[in-house]
Structure 1
């Protein structure tokens, strides 16, 4: 008998094989478009989502173990339920992987801190800039993080040679309708440290963001080549623009092992690689070492030691001549002796 409803197909897919992240068959509705899936989901009263949620609940212990203590499992799974209709064509293995990776970083897939998106048949975890901000706060070294977009008619000034906080001012024209504020022209990011120091201000133009997208985002490249234009750069350019500015800021502020791991997982998802292995687990010795190097670089003095120049003159006492000159001198002496 043909499986005509979304619920029947999902139920059949999740019941055919034994439980296991890699062994569970794909939750797929052949030939259906996302709009059709959402319509079928609504017509079905949400029962297809109930079926998938019931399957995910089998991994309840794994989610509880992955989530930090400050994140409520119920809140996390409520956000997952909301996201599921757009992920109906993804394989369960990739769905479980992306959700567990998201959980290990303690981020809620609510569209603000993180999202789970469909890249073809695979579910991919994408941390948003607010997720990066959350992890920066958790490091204990960052007092406040500021990320924003400057629009054409906003009031702003940027003078890198002036001392903080006089070097940068942004006064958004929130009194104007969005249409009158104009297009976004710059993204920026900076932090105030708990020590009272402020980082440099990262400024990123639209052209800079497009260059980062074109050169580094494999997901964007795949979407362009396929003609689908469905990467997150296509879906929400401004969010990715802001996140790019924040990621550049990581070079200027102390980084935690969690932040290093989050960036690696983000890059792995964009490249189409397994993300869960990049999440911080155990003691994370390698990531902790990388974070410590970044921390020292961020807090190191910008002063460069100047090596004293050799004294001028005709070869003062104690000054050694180059080997080439000494050899030439010995050869000259031999010729005079001969």
Structure 2
């Protein structure tokens, strides 16, 4: 089925569900709580969901993972629920909390891919053979030498016997082994960078902080969001499929308060708009801000022996 046809069907369905509500769903104060199972009866949209899903994902599996999520979306507008579900289906990701999450963001249902979802799309491209993403904690050994030969510039030796509960994560990293045996550059996101990205770009986090609820994914899954930030940075370093570019555009649309579904079903235009937004932000950013420092070597490691001794000491 052509994407333009799917786009038209989704817009028609959304309008019908919302009883005239426009696809640019708002966050009005008059949105009443919808009892679970009423208004969000997703079975009536089975055909639309199945049309959006890739052929390798069964609609029954998708709906089975979706049904337990719907009661949590009862305060969201019906149009936003439908659009987030269709968007999730468009990428063939299961909304089970592992590959993707559909969450309530100020009465708007929002699709969010996890870092496993990003990795899944990387694998599907056929250009990426393996992805490594880890957090480096205090007490781990690591070394990052950007000028070293590719494949030898980064080493991480985790302290697997130490409890992570009492150790602070220092940074997240991600890299990929590509088709043909080459390894991508290493994407690194320090703890400070992750917190800055959360504070500046996550509207859900900002609202949760303002409301004192502390229930955003950055509150409840900080380590996973930290890893996802590294994976999103890695997505810019590996060969990009159209699907992966569309996923980045979809999440950026949500960050900008725009309907995700339009980016999902028109990825080329969404990608161009996302590039324009990034260029605009870069142009407005101060040129005096220094580049973030990357962790290069753990200070606790043993120092190498000095090769040249003082001649006076020999005497």
Normalising by the smaller structure, the TM-score range is: 0.7 to 0.9
Partner residue of 1:125?
Answer: 111
Conserved? CA contact 1:257–1:290, under 8 Å? no
Tell me the CA shift for residue 178 of structure 1: 3.4
Distance 1:289 1:51, change over 3 A: closer
Conserved? CA contact 2:133–2:231, under 8 Å? yes
Residue 150 (structure 1) aligned to one of 115, 130, 136: 136
Scaled by the length of structure 1, what TM-score is found? 0.68
User: Residues of 2 paired with 1:192 and 1:74: CA distance?
Assistant: 33
Residue 205 (structure 1) aligned to one of 181, 184, 190: 190
Partner residue of 1:29?
Answer: 33
Conserved? CA contact 1:28–1:88, under 8 Å? no
Runs of 4 or more, structure 1, over 4 Å off, are 25-28, 48-53, 284-291
Conserved? CA contact 2:137–2:164, under 8 Å? no
The runs of 5 or more residues in structure 1 that have no matched partner are: 1-18, 31-47, 292-338
CA deviations on 1:56-114 (whole Å, 9 max, x unpaired) are: 11111101100001111111111111212322211211111101000001111111111
Higher Cα Rg, which structure? 1
Residue 228 (structure 1) aligned to one of 202, 213, 237: 213
Partner residue of 2:180?
Answer: 195
Tell me the CA shift for residue 151 of structure 1: 1.3
The runs of 5 or more residues in structure 2 that have no matched partner are: 1-11, 20-30, 275-315
Deviates more, 1:210-219 or 1:241-250: 210-219
Q: Which has the higher contact order (CA 8 A, sep 6+)?
A: 2
Q: Secondary structure at the match of 1:59?
A: helix
User: Residues of 1 paired with 2:113 and 2:164: CA distance?
Assistant: 26
Aligned residues: 252
Partner residue of 1:239?
Answer: 224
Partner residue of 2:257?
Answer: 272
Partner residue of 1:116?
Answer: 102
1:174 aligns with 2:174: no
Partner residue of 2:277?
Answer: none
Partner residue of 2:169?
Answer: 184
Tell me the CA shift for residue 167 of structure 1: 1.8
Q: Secondary structure at the match of 2:116?
A: helix
Scaled by the length of structure 2, what TM-score is found? 0.72
